[in-house]
Amino acid sequence: MMNPINNYQSKQPDIGPDVYSAIIEALSENAIFSLTDEKGDIVFVNNKFIEISQYAVDELLGQNHRILKSGHQPQEIFVDLWATISRGKIWRGEIKNRAKDGSYYWVDATIVPIPGPDGKPKNYAALRTIINDKKEIEAKNKKYVEDLEKINKFTVDRELKMIELKKEIKKLEEKLAKGLKVGP
Amino acid sequence: MIPIHFTATLSKKKFIAENTAELTFLVSNPNFSFTAGQYVSIEIPSLSGATVLDRYHDFSIASSPKNSKEISIAFRVSKSIFKTALLALPVGGVVNIDGPKGALTLPEPERPDIKGAQGPAFVSQNIPIIFVAGGIGITPLLSMIRYATETKSPQQITLLYCNSRKETTAYAEELHALAQKNPHFTLVLLLGVPVEKLFAPYVQNAKKTPNTFWYIVGAPAMVRKVEQILGESGIMNTQIRIEEFSGYLPS
């Protein structure tokens, strides 16, 4: 398997364990990292995971990852996620999680299967970054578009109503004119 | 409590409501204990050739943690590979268990020794709790009610328990008995569908006690709808705890 860290390696040839540790440390500064077994039970979390989820380490280790499930996303997303990673493929997507205090947070998640001796996924490594700001902007934009659509619909409806009213007025005027002709 | 792996032997098997079975297991590991409201992952050895998702299934523990040597689970019978195999398991049959798991538990004292241990699990026992259960979602809540009654907890608990029909209402008789025995527990049985519509008047009523803490357990659509009704009533997310009974995909 190609070493992903060496993909863009410079002339410096030696990337040893120290460098990997430094890379993981750097990632851990602003990314949420976890490692699970084949069932999705958590076997490792970094400090960022603990901080964001608000659970203590001993409340997370051994727990299934769905301890964070918000329940606000269609089940199809998780069916696709599991269908993908259990085939040994990488899955990437946006997930809404629920912290221990009940508050929600959005993450951009990448889940990488790690094969066991039999070639089947034995563990899953997941890297997540918080995207609350992005989701907030998306929600605002969505609301803006919905509001515009409402205003547009209101304007069109009003215009159609005016046309109907004008027709009615014209009919009344015609009737009235006829009535005057037949009057005394 | 970090989950451990152990075997358990089926000791009792019975039907407790229409299409609803209860299985009781004797736990082999003396170190196993759990908190009321938690669940376990069960693996049936005879399904060892199946995929991971078919091999394991999560079940809330319905029994009280006062006796952690024997645990009971309950489920609606279906034709799934797992439930068919589980129901076919003879008394004396052995399963593999990982547990306990889950964070849907009763309020407990704060744990300043644990970094990050704050949040809804640590609300005061003086705050009233309303349990909203849809169908077989009753199981973790029953464990908590049993435990609260056994320990004579002062926790005020109201259970809104909804089923489509009387025949599918598991544990109704026992819940009535617990309500008689525990002066702090109130039972409201609701019959009909859709579940969320039946709950709505009670949820609206919650505005009168804004600091109430809510636990919602049931099918995903029901949980989401009740949560939405609560939100529209001004109840904060931080006052709500949820558990979905949704097929058990682990994410």
Q: What is the pLDDT of residues A59-93, one digit of tens each?
A: 899 999 989 988 888 888 988 999 999 999 999 99
The CATH number of whichever domain residue B9 belongs to comes to 2.40.30.10
* Same domain assignment for residues B132 and B207: yes
Specify the pLDDT at position B246.
Answer: 67
Among candidate residues B37, B71, B101, the one where a domain is terminated: B101
Any residues with CB less than 8 A from the CB of A78 and at least 6 apart, and which? Answer: B249, B251
Of the candidates B58, B220, B247, the beta carbon closest to that of A71 is on B220
Specify the pLDDT at position A106.
Answer: 96
Chain B residues with beta carbon closer than 8 angstroms to that of A122: none
ipTM rounded to 2 decimals: 0.79
Q: Is residue B208 part of a domain?
A: yes
Domain count, chain B: 2
Query: Helices B220-232 and B195-205 sit at what angle, rounded to 10 degrees?
Result: 30
Tokens 């409501």: give the residue: B17
Give yes or no for a contact between B202 and B133, defined as CB atoms under 8 angstroms apart. Answer: no
DSSP state of B65: G
Phi then psi dihedrals of residue A12, to 5 deg: -65, 115
The minimum CA-CA distance between A171 and chain B, rounded to whole Å, is 48
Q: Is residue B46 part of a domain?
A: yes
B194-242 residue pLDDT tens: 777 787 788 777 767 777 889 999 988 888 888 888 888 888 888 888 8
Specify the pLDDT at position A182.
Answer: 46
Whole-prediction pTM: 0.82
d(CA A42, CA A48): 15
In angstroms, the Cα distances linking B118 to A92, A101, B54, B125, B209 are: 30, 7, 35, 15, 23
Give yes or no for a contact between B189 and B172, defined as CB atoms under 8 angstroms apart. Answer: yes
* Same domain assignment for residues B146 and B190: yes
DSSP state of B90: P
- Site from A52, A101, A120 to mutate, B interface, most B CB atoms within 10 angstroms: A101
Give yes or no for a contact between B36 and B64, defined as CB atoms under 8 angstroms apart. Answer: yes
d(CA A33, CA A48): 7
Instruction: Record the tokens describing residue B235, joined without a space.
Output: 């109840």
User: What parts of chain A have a pLDDT lower than 50?
Assistant: 1-2, 182-184
Q: Is the CB of B117 less than 8 angstroms away from the CB of A99?
A: no
Q: Is residue B250 part of a domain?
A: no
d(CA A103, CA B89): 41
d(CA B57, CA A101): 26
Q: Is the CB of B41 less than 8 angstroms away from the CB of A56?
A: no
Q: Is the CB of A58 less than 8 angstroms away from the CB of B115?
A: no
d(CA B243, CA A66): 10
Specify the pLDDT at position A101.
Answer: 86
* Same domain assignment for residues B85 and B178: no
Domain span at residue B126? 120-244
Q: Give which of B245, B236, B244 is closest to B127, Cα–Cα.
A: B236
Instruction: Record the tokens describing residue B236, joined without a space.
Output: 């904060």
d(CA B229, CA B232): 5
User: What parts of chain B have a pLDDT lower than 70?
Assistant: 108-125, 207, 246-251
Any residues with CB less than 8 A from the CB of A94 and at least 6 apart, and which? Answer: A106, A107, A108, A109, A131, A135
Chain A residues with beta carbon closer than 8 angstroms to that of B56: 39
Side chain identity at A34, as an amino acid letter?
S
Q: Is the CB of B111 less than 8 angstroms away from the CB of A56?
A: yes
* Same domain assignment for residues B91 and B165: no
Please give the residue of chain A at the shortest CA–CA distance from B250.
A66
* Same domain assignment for residues B89 and B126: no
Chain A residues with beta carbon closer than 8 angstroms to that of B120: 100-102
Query: Which residues between 67 and 96 in chain A have a beta carbon less than 8 angstroms from any beta carbon of chain B?
Result: 67, 69, 71-72, 75, 78-79, 81-82, 86, 95
